[in-house]
Amino acid sequence: MRILPAPAGTGICFRRSDLDSFNIEAVGRNVARVSYATSLMKKGVLISTTEHVLSAFVGAGIDNAIVELDNLELPILDGSALSFLEAIQRVGLRKLLRPRTYWKIRSAVEVREGDKFIGVYPAERYSVAYTINFPHPVIGLQTFELDLVGNSYMREIAPARTFGFLHDEQMLRNMGLIRGAASGNTIILSDDAIQNGPLRFKEEFVRHKILDLIGDLALLGHRILGRVVADRAGHAMHTVLVSRLLRERSLTEPAYLEEETNSEESPTAAVLEQTV
């Protein structure tokens, strides 16, 4: 996989180098399936497990990039977004003169499915509050809240790794998923313990859910200005929220941050200095 610089206005685009450089834009209309991961599809061409790199782009402040790969699935690396961010930081970013456009949430939007919930509410900044509750002695009830300001994403969210349960392994492999899963990139849980500790955070499980959520909401095409609250939601509900916000455009309006529009270089901030 390579991450290439892209001109202002490109957004995030995945490119299959093994299929005549076929492009799939990272936008809600191209969501294909969301079973344990978020996949995109356009004209029958699939890109699987997009959420970690999309989340890293939001954390790094990247708005425009081409992600080139020669397979249908993105590399899992260490199971978090940290390796992507570290690679981006090594090459650096170049700010653009075009101001970054945000989607400002104008009205509350809520999606419910049984005891699962996700909602987004008007706010001046992007923040997330997530709750999970797994009937497992190591996880249980966990809640974490985060304002996406400064280096909070890099410090609090990017290192959080994906996790999975041993009793689900064969089912997922039969579905064609987790083909790269291993003890070096996944927190593996038996019925009552972690098989490959230690954890990076006490609440690493819910922090990774926030990582996934930020990546899924990147499919709106712009960072939001709003407060997101989720309770046991998951990829499917994340993308349902994306679809609703894209469909009902009166729920959002374009906005710019004053400190950015008043700066000499108002960042669309998304151009890498060179290929990663």
Strand partners, 229: 119, 129
pLDDT tier at 183, thresholds 50, 70, 90? confident
**235 vs 238: CA distance, rounded Å:** 5
Contact 37, 239 (CB under 8 A): no
- Asked if residue 65 lies in contact with residue 57, where contact means CB atoms within 8 angstroms, the answer is yes
Q: How far apart are CA 61 and CA 223, in angstroms?
A: 9
Q: Is the pLDDT of residue 142 over 60?
A: yes
Which amino acid would we find at residue 248? Answer: E
Percentage of the residues of the chain whose pLDDT score is greater than 70: 92
CA gap 79, 76 in Å, rounded = 5
pLDDT(12) > 80: yes
Burial class (CB in 10 A: 0-12, 13-18, 19+), 260: middle
Is a pLDDT exceeding 90 seen at residue 260?
no
pLDDT grade for 178, boundaries at 50, 70 and 90: low
Query: Is the confidence at residue 222, as pLDDT, over 60?
Result: yes
Measure the N-to-C terminal CA separation of the chain; round to a whole number of Å. 9
**Burial (Cβ within 10 Å: 0-12, 13-18, ≥19) of residue 149:** exposed
Banded pLDDT at 173 (limits 50, 70, 90): confident
pTM: 0.93
pLDDT(187) > 50: yes
Confidence of residue 272 (pLDDT cuts 50, 70, 90): low
Q: Residue 270 has what pLDDT?
A: 46
What is the distance between the alpha carbons of residues 269 and 253, in angstroms, rounded to a whole number? 21
Which residues have C-beta within 8 Å of that of residue 119, sequence separation ≥ 6? 108, 109, 110, 111, 228, 229, 230
pLDDT attached to residue 97: 80
Q: What is the mean pLDDT of the chain?
A: 91
Confidence band (pLDDT; 50, 70, 90) for 8?
A: confident
Q: Helix, strand or coil for residue 217?
A: helix
Residue 257 pLDDT greater than 90, yes or no: no
Residues 201 and 138: beta-carbon distance below 8 Å? no
Among the listed residues 52, 208, 235, 238, the single catalytic one is 235
Residue-wise DSSP of 162-209: PEEEGGGHHHHHHTT--TT--TTTSEEE-SSSBSS---SSTTHHHHHH
Q: Helix %, strand %, coil % for the chain, to 5?
A: 25, 30, 40
pLDDT at 62: 93
Two tokens at 183?
Answer: 């003890």
Q: Which CATH code fits 2-272?
A: 3.30.1700.10
Query: What local confidence, expressed as pLDDT, does residue 86 receive?
Result: 95
3-state secondary structure of 2: strand
Q: Average pLDDT in the 199-203 region?
A: 97
- Per the annotation, the verdict on 235 as an active-site residue is yes
Here the tokens at position 28 are: 């809600």
118: tokens are 């996700």
